[in-house]
Amino acid sequence: MPLPSKVRVTNLHNGRPVIVLVNDRGSFKKNKLIDLSHDAAKEIGLHGLAQVKVEYIGSSVDND
């Protein structure tokens, strides 16, 4: 995925989605797909680790 990119992250427990900007590939920990900001996690009801679905929407440069 090109950087920066927009993705939709959906909390699989409650179905709530949030659209976020991915601007780095950091946090290479086993079984960890994405780190969300505190505000994005709060918006979809996440507290700590959770199962999510991540969908690529497009390049942030193309969709501004």
Domain that holds residue 39: 5-61
pTM for this one?
0.85
Q: What pLDDT sits at residue 54?
A: 95
* pLDDT tens readout for residues 19-29: 999 998 876 77
Torsion of CA 28, 59, 10, 37, to 10 degrees: 60
pLDDT band of residue 64 (cuts 50, 70, 90) is very low
* Joined tokens for residue 7: 């993705």
CATH number of the domain that 24 lies in?
Answer: 2.40.40.10
d(CA 44, CA 16): 5
What total number of domains does the chain contain?
Answer: 1
Partnered with residue 5 across adjacent β-strands are 22, 59
